[in-house]
Structure 1
């Protein structure tokens, strides 16, 4: 099966029947239908008559006759390095539980993103299933010849009145057919359908044996955002998280459901923000993510706030001062006026500076790349408020590809 790799925002996939590394018009039409049915942001997946461009989305899409892997831009345009950077960001932000030794192995084998997640999922799941399948309690009401559990008094009195010899019982019964196991089994089935990796498929089939009595019917359109884990099933939490990734964008394109597409996609602006939050916490005293302390305006008469302010990171530094950090997964360039910082970002940062009295500086952080003349972590631009020049907006880029380098740069910026 054809596998295409493209860099988010910087590259496009041609639509052509003449080129090998291209989508055919039929494949492009299938992708367009999938984007619409799966509810993906059509502004971020631009499909024209000649090409497909992915903006902000990274991850994996499986079509009927081909798969597409979208990776973030890294220095050197090396897909292996790009995949490793993406995996490390997913690791540090809690999407995936990957040990460094595993990360090196997975990158060396050059598996695509779906194969990597499927490999991790089946490995983790079979390890837990070997310890025992999760059983949940279900309350049963039955008429029996002897007491089991406790007697259902209301029903039993009715039976005594009717001179029945059966005993109305209420008891708890262990069952493997529960929501958690159904989700895990559906993800295993998806892995068996799509994975080409021998070890992954072997572990997936072993897992299916353990879950043989579990019903496969699960509405993947209504996967729960959270699941109530307790001491009995907490060991399956990481497997459930990866199963959700595998199933979250699975969609049938035909009424019979025979043609299924799936994707594992992440928005890079959200992932970059979460990754920067992880890094900033390494050097700051306190970090509040998505602070909701203030509204921009208060409506006369009702005193109700409008336009919620939501800075990415409200940071308390070791010297007692506070700053705001707003992350932008956008390309800025030293050859453009103001490095290409957009007008709406200026207005947004102005609102933070004026509303947060105890914040003296707002930092805009962008991903570093070769189009920025200064090195990562060095000052790029600065502006002060006309009415109070002590309040500053400062722009920096961060070498996000290297975790330790990024931490050093953040330490220089913030300390």
Structure 2
């Protein structure tokens, strides 16, 4: 199987129109990939198809079909070389901080797992966590059982008993309903299903051994038809919370399975994250931990315009900032944008739409003195500080109202926290 690693929004994946070179996809594989993307309902505009290439924008993660696997990583390393290991560590750190995955990046580093593709990392962490808990004891719950048996147990199901026994003159059996302790419940079915999916896609022998052993310990768990429709109903009680991490990952593995059930798509699997949403949630999480006492309600919103005649419609253009910080008498708005800054471009690469949006915040929120745009810092930037002020615009009415564009290092969590701290300290200084 071909394993291809590319950088989101930067690299192009070659499509070999005539013959297979081993470095890209064949034309047939590209068609299978397009079918998979359509079946999963991903944003089609994020997959930029050329005549002989494909570029993936705003999605990171992994797509795996029968003959190839594509790993998409964010370009956030401060090193000029294509250090996929650093990009992978950064992505996993962001996913963990944002609550998408429960994977400890430090554990991966100790076991040299960051050199593996994302799907292998995900499967390894899941299998280790699940097997650890299964060895401590399989979850057993009281389950309702209906059975046509030769002795009375629990309560009689009158309708079923009449239909199956009395109407057929079967007098030595009774249809009963009773509760018994059993491993055959929804949570364990989810684990078995996730194990079977991963056994079809992972190659690491240690991971496969753990998955197979997990299935052996869950051998009394029966088939799992229609589990996708029931998966959100799976819950753990207080005594079962040690399984929380494994269940969290198992659910994501099942959601990642393609809806296409054709035989030639048996191995289709993808788990992709929208990078702009991930970036916003990651920054929000760090701000909450570092400056939670300064954060204002993010749901507080205003409308840019009001309808003059209320009967003709509602308000126009709702403005809802990503984050607001209370800095004394004034507040600041912070907005995270997953785009690349470049000092050689007009407005350092800040889009006109972004500037107009930030100006609307300044105009509509009277107590806001500054709006901050935060962009990721990449190796292409000349500056190497955790946070760098790239540009600042002031309004005509007052120099006390401004828009600032910063680049923020994502190389390490500590660098990002330090960068956010510097930004807030600069804003505090500007307010005093």
Q: TM-score range by the shorter chain?
A: 0.7 to 0.9
CA distance in 2, matches of 1:167, 1:188: 38
Equivalent in the alignment of 1:159 = none
Task: Identify the residue that residue 341 of structure 1 maps to in structure 2.
Answer: 350
Change (3 A) 1:185 1:321: farther
More displaced 10-residue stretch of structure 1: 321-330 or 115-124? 321-330
TM-aligned CA deviation for residue 313 of structure 1:
1.6
Distance 1:222 1:98 in 2: 26
Name the structure where helix makes up a greater proportion of residues: 2
State the match for 1:359 in structure 2: 368
CA contact (8 A) 2:139 2:240 kept: yes
Segment of structure 1 superposing worse, 222-231 or 332-341: 222-231
| Alignment deviations for residues 252-275 of structure 1 (CA, whole Å, 9 cap, x no partner) | 545447633101111111111122
Contact 2:89–2:114, Cα closer than 8 Å, also in 1: no
Aligned runs of 1:15-414 on 2, under 5 Å? 15-16=15-16, 17=19, 19-73=21-75, 74=77, 75-76=79-80, 77-107=82-112, 110-140=115-145, 171-219=178-226, 222=229, 224=231, 227-251=234-258, 253=260, 255-256=262-263, 259-284=266-291, 285-287=293-295, 290-299=298-307, 300-301=309-310, 304-317=314-327, 319=328, 321-376=330-385, 377-414=387-424
Q: Which moved more, 1:197-206 or 1:124-133?
A: 124-133
Q: CA deviation at 1:7?
A: 0.9
Q: Is there any run of 5+ residues in structure 1 with no aligned partner, and where?
A: 157-163
Query: Do the aligned residues in 2 keep the contact of 1:182 with 1:218 (CA within 8 Å)?
Result: no
The answer to whether the Cα contact below 8 Å between 1:138 and 1:175 also exists between their aligned partners in 2 is yes
The answer for the alignment partner of 1:4 in structure 2 is 4
CA shift for structure 1 position 289:
7.5
CA contact (8 A) 1:149 1:171 kept: yes
Q: Distance in 1 between matches of 2:153 and 2:306?
A: 63
TM-score, normalising length: structure 2: 0.84
Structure 2 contact 388–407 (Cα < 8 Å) conserved: yes
Structure 1 residue 45: Cα displacement: 1.5
Q: Which residue is 2:166 aligned to? A: none
CA offset digits 1:52-99 (Å, max 9, x no partner): 111111111101111111111123321111111111112222223333
Q: Secondary structure at the match of 2:10?
A: coil
Higher relative contact order (CA 8 A, sep 6+): 2
Q: Is the contact made by 2:102 and 2:248 (CA closer than 8 Å) also made in structure 1?
A: no
Q: Is the 8 A contact 1:223 1:248 kept in 2?
A: no
Asked if the contact 1:182–1:217 (Cα under 8 Å) also holds between the matched residues in 2, the reply is: yes
Task: Name the structure 1 match of 2:165.
Answer: none
Matched residues in 1 for 2:252 and 2:44: separation? 20
2:141, 2:424 → 1: CA distance?
A: 49
What's the RMSD between the two structures over aligned residues? Answer: 3.0
| Cα deviation, residue 107, structure 1 | 4.3
Asked if the contact 1:60/1:265 (under 8 Å) is kept, the reply is yes
Distance in 2 separating the partners of 1:154 and 1:60: 51
Is residue 28–residue 47 contact of structure 1 (8 Å, CA) maintained in 2? no
Indicate the residue corresponding to 1:13 in structure 2.
13
CA shift for structure 1 position 325: 1.0
* Distance apart, 1:43 and its partner CA: 0.8
- 2-structure distance, mates of 1:142, 1:226: 25
Do 2:301 and 2:321's aligned partners in 1 also have CA atoms closer than 8 Å?
no
- With over 3 angstroms needed to count, the CA separation of the structure-2 counterparts of 1:338 and 1:257, relative to structure 1, is same
Tell whether the 8 Å contact from 1:247 to 1:262 is kept in structure 2 after alignment.
Answer: no
CA distance in 2, matches of 1:246, 1:121: 10
Partners of 1:381 and 1:394 within 8 A in 2: yes
Mapped partners of 1:257, 1:229: distance in 2: 36
Distance 1:224 1:385 in 2: 52
Distance in 1 of aligned mates of 2:212 and 2:276: 37
Where structure 2 has 5 or more consecutive residues not aligned to the other structure, the ranges are 162-170, 426-432
1:125 is paired with a residue whose SS is: helix
Post-superposition Cα deviations, 1:132-156, rounded to whole Å, max 9, x if no partner, equal: 2223333456788887557999999
> What is the CA–CA distance in structure 2 between the aligned matches of 1:380 and 1:116, rounded to whole Å?
36
> What is the count of residue pairs matched by the alignment?
407
Provide the rounded CA distance (Å) in 2 between the counterparts of 1:209 and 1:18.
Answer: 40
